[in-house]
A and B are shown apart, each in its own frame.
Chain A
Amino acid sequence: MGLVNGLDWVVLVATVAAIVAYGVSQTRTVQSTSSYLRGDRELRWPTIGLSVMATQASAITFLSVPGQAYEDGMRFVQFYFGLPLAMIVISAVAIPIYYRLKVYTAYEYLEERFDVRVRVLGALLFLVQRGLAAGITIYAPAIVLSSILGWQLWLTNLVIGVTVIVYTVSGGTKAVSRTQKQQMVVILVGMLLAFGVAVAKLPEGMGLVDAMRLAGAAGRMNVVNFEFEPNDRYNLWSGLVGGFFLQLSYFGTDQSQVQRYLTGRSVTESRLGLLFNGLMKIPMQFFILLVGIVLFAFHVFVPPPAFFNLPALEAAREKDPQISVLEERHRELLDQRASVARSLLDGTAPPREIARQRSDFDSLTRALDLERERVAERVTRVLPRAESEDDDYIFIHFVVSHLPHGLVGLLIAVILSAAMSSTASELNALGTTTTIDLYRRLGRTAQGDRHYLWASKAFTVFWGGVALSFATFASLLDNLIEAVNILGSLFFGTVLGMFLVAFGTRRVGATPTLLAALAAEATVVSCFFHTELGYLWFNLVGCLVTVGLAWTLHHLFRLARA
């Protein structure tokens, strides 16, 4: 596209190189397994808090979420309503236990409480799910960045993957957590600047409040919905209940997060880090969604393309002349909507007239959405490999088309930083779990510390290779990102249930818990195939079935023995 110039490259390369150099510089202090896997337990709460936030916020968060608000409104913020409550439960219950047992991984606790079978099951569920997710964490931003930078997809995958592997393998947990702090600073500064420029580029006399009013007229300010509707993906209740269980499982039992807060100097530092996350996460997500709302208002007056993946649109236009006709219709509708929007913002009409203008604005927005869908359908018909959903390209299109040079480079560095920070945590956790829960527990059980240090590094490289391979072949599959998101919810509830049985009961043993976990998995998979239940509820179902059935089986076994 030629929209990234020399200055952008200087900013991009300098930012990423500085972060990687900082990460590698942490290598000096890594001399033991404890140092490599737990960072010598010396980190303070601000580093832990930012590291936890950086792990959860992958690149796709910053690419997708503004586009989601642009298309679907603000309602996605409800997904995070259960998070502060989950942080409280983990701080009060899980952290003191993990510290008391001096564990490296969450799954070690399962053996302390049950037996090695439950520990291995928990570790394997994590490895399968997180191993796939690590590939997607690389692939998802790579597909967008390769389009913007004009690089081959495999090369973009390789650049992201190898960069992360270098500092994760050399510096271990400490390098991951400390670079994440720098990465979060870059990410937040970059997003704030992009937001500021977007607001400044609104038409003269129009501010943030007007942008929100316009978005509201098109149904985009749907932040909270109190209606209980199980099939609705995002509402207050699915966020509070389903989201609570999902976040409890993710932060309490997923090693990529547990490893972040186990680096704390004390229980207090770890707790404060998680509570910081609980306090800041929802406002941060609200802010990223608000960027999408400002982009929506901006494109009411500055005509957007009918399909935001411009290279795909240009290639498709040459093959299908009908696309140009649809684009022309799209432009006409945009002109009509801009005219209605000006009258609406003028605000001098009588109330009944304003109500009519709002209704017209909403109808025209719906008509435009329909035109965009028609264009997307045509594009994917002539280019089957192109993504039919172009939401992920909305924010990056604004960045490369409307931001000043230098800032474009910084925002691409933001996307890369987010991709690297999530992937680093995942590889670090995958290497740790493979070493501690499988290799050291079931394989080489009596080796020296140095042996396990090198094994941890080797397994981290191995998982980096797996993630890169998966990222490379991911483009051959359809709807992969959605599939992996749902895959997470298929496992999270069951794993959480195993941990809740462990934390909450003293007598329920390993066999009832194992059987209950297997039955819960079958139930969740059955719900996935045979019901329309929103995927957030799978977490609740898996958890309740595991806990309820483990308790019931425990009592049945006791009766049978008696």
Chain B
Amino acid sequence: MASSHRDDAAPPEPHRGAEPEEPPPILGKWSRLYLVLVGALLAQVLLYAWLTRWAS
């Protein structure tokens, strides 16, 4: 089967480098929001580790 583009949709836009992206509604930058998620994960792991130790 030969390669071809979809016949019903606009061709993909060419890469134009880093396009400006809409910032998140809080914290100003997506990278900060991602860090919050990593921090929340770390906090949960530590909390659960403490819980495991406390209950054993």
Contact = CB atoms under 8 A, between A and B. Distances in A.
A275 B49 contact: no
A116 B2 contact: yes
Interface stretch (A216-224, A250-258, A520-528): A216-224
A283 B52 contact: no
A529 interface: no
Contacts of B5: 111-112
A278 B35 CA distance: 12
A225 B48 CA distance: 10
User: For chain B, which range describes its interface: under 10, 10 to 19, 20 to 34, or 35 or more residues?
Assistant: 20 to 34
The prevalent SS among residues of A at the interface is helix
Contact of A102 (B10, B40, B45, B54): B10
A81 B45 contact: yes
Contacts of B21: 96, 267
A446 B52 CA distance: 60
A445 interface: yes
B52 A88 contact: no
Interface string B27-56: 000100110011011001100110110111
A115 B6 CA distance: 11
A283 B22 contact: no
Q: Which of A88, A117, A219 has the most CB of B within 10 A?
A: A88
Given A102-B10, A282-B41, A446-B7, A275 B1 contact: no
Contact of A84 (B13, B25, B40, B49): B40
A116 B55 contact: no
B48 A268 contact: no
A102 B34 contact: no
B34 to A, nearest CB: 5
Contacts of B56: 216, 219, 221-222
A440 interface: yes
Contacts of A115: 1-3
Contact of B41 (A81, A108, A120): A81
A92 interface: yes
Contacts of A286: 44, 48
B30 A92 contact: yes
Nearest to A283: B44
Given A102-B9, A115-B1, A226-B49, A272 B37 contact: no
Contacts of A224: 45, 48-49, 52
Interface string A260-284: 0000001110011001001100110
Nearest to A33: B8
Contacts of A87: 37
A275 B6 contact: no
27 contacts: A81-B41, A84-B37, A84-B40, A92-B30, A100-B13, A111-B5, A116-B3, A117-B1, A120-B1, A216-B54, A216-B55, A217-B55, A221-B51, A221-B56, A222-B56, A223-B49, A224-B49, A225-B52, A267-B21, A267-B22, A268-B24, A268-B25, A279-B40, A282-B41, A286-B48, A446-B7, A510-B3
Given A275-B37, A446-B7, 19 more contacts: A87-B37, A88-B38, A91-B34, A92-B34, A111-B5, A111-B6, A112-B5, A115-B2, A221-B56, A223-B48, A224-B49, A224-B52, A225-B52, A226-B49, A268-B22, A272-B24, A275-B33, A283-B44, A286-B44
Interface of A: 74, 77, 81, 84-85, 87-88, 91-92, 96, 100-102, 108, 111-112, 114-117, 120, 212-213, 215-217, 219, 221-226, 236, 266-268, 271-272, 275, 278-279, 282-283, 286, 440-441, 445-446, 510
Q: Which 3 A-B pairs have the closest CB atoms?
A: A216-B55, A115-B3, A221-B55
